Amino acid sequence: MYPLVSIIMNCRNGEKFLQESLNSVLKQTYENWELVFVDNKSNDNSKKIFKKYNDKRFKYIFLDQEVNLGRARQEALKNCSGDFISFLDTDDLWFEDKLEKQMKFFEDNEIGMVISNTIFFSDIKSKKFYNNDPPTGFVFYDLLDNYFISLETLICRTKYLKKISFKFDKDYSMISDLDLTLRLSTTCKLSYCPFILSKWRIHPSSDSWKKKNLFFLEKLRFIEKLKIKNFDLDKQKFLKHKKNFIENTNFSLLLNKIESGEKKKEIIREIKNKDIKFINLCILIILTVFPFSKQMMKLYRKFFSITP
């Protein structure tokens, strides 16, 4: 018998794309899975859409009080029975051989996480996530320097989840997955399945787009909260990578504020008070002071990123 894979899907008013996401689960060629669907007090047609599916592998859990994403995912995790845990949000998609291809990479018992390539897409544009293979093995410091996991690609081995002190941090709304995978990466290896097996949707109503500032602020809270005494980490090496993490996050936070049109005085004040690499500091000053900065940002977004 193939091992059971639990699929966590959290829903908060996700009716628009829900049916498409559920259908992508049902089409999986790997059939031993369960879908743990947590309805985070939706007030749209999400429940009605979900209940149309008559499949014994579908589990429905309703929360009568809305909670943040970290708490919702923790609730889902408590209801998972699988030896492996995977994730799919209501606006994302899996290709039909996603589970089948990735599960083969767990033959090595030290592998606790497997990811794949994915496509980021909007209504007008799409691009693949990795142009080059990401790091593998013990990747804690790689993730600190440049976080490279897209959650819809991730499958975790449950036995390694049990080794970390807690699963999803209930204090985080935007980065609960980053927090989980970074702590998990201290206990096990990560492997990469070199196929495009999913699609991550970018649209204006998603929290990933609407709450960018909160995403970066939670990252800064996370790095201060992370205690190396809980893990077998070299203190000096960790402090070096922590500094890099903070500088990169500060840069991304201020870049987003510039793009959002916040007042120049406020941005300049923050630039003075934050740790930022010199080259990034120069970029921020140019984008803040020079009158053509908005045009530069638009060109950058047009050619190098995907927006709704």
pLDDT of residue 7: 98
pLDDT at residue 6, as a whole number: 98
Closest to 277 (Cα-Cα) out of 246, 253, 236, 241: 246
Provide the pLDDT for residue 210.
Answer: 66
For domain 5-202, give its CATH number from 3.40.50.2300, 3.90.550.10, 3.40.50.12280, 3.40.50.300: 3.90.550.10
Nearest Cα to Cα of residue 88 among 134, 15, 45, 36: 36
State pTM to two decimals. 0.91
* Helices 176-184, 69-78: inter-axial angle, 10-degree rounding: 60
Residues 34-75: tens digit of each pLDDT: 999 999 999 999 999 999 998 999 999 999 999 988 889 989
pLDDT score of 302: 63
Residue 140: per-residue pLDDT: 96
Q: Residue 55 and residue 119: Cα distance in Å, rounded?
A: 28
Residues of the chain with CATH 3.90.550.10: 5-202
Chunked mean pLDDT (size 10), the chain, 308 residues: 94 96 98 97 96 95 92 92 97 97 96 98 90 97 96 96 80 90 95 98 71 89 84 88 95 88 87 91 86 68 58
Give residue 114's identity as a one-letter amino acid code: V
How many CA atoms does the CB half-sphere of 248 hold within 13 Å? 13
**pLDDT reported for residue 209:** 60
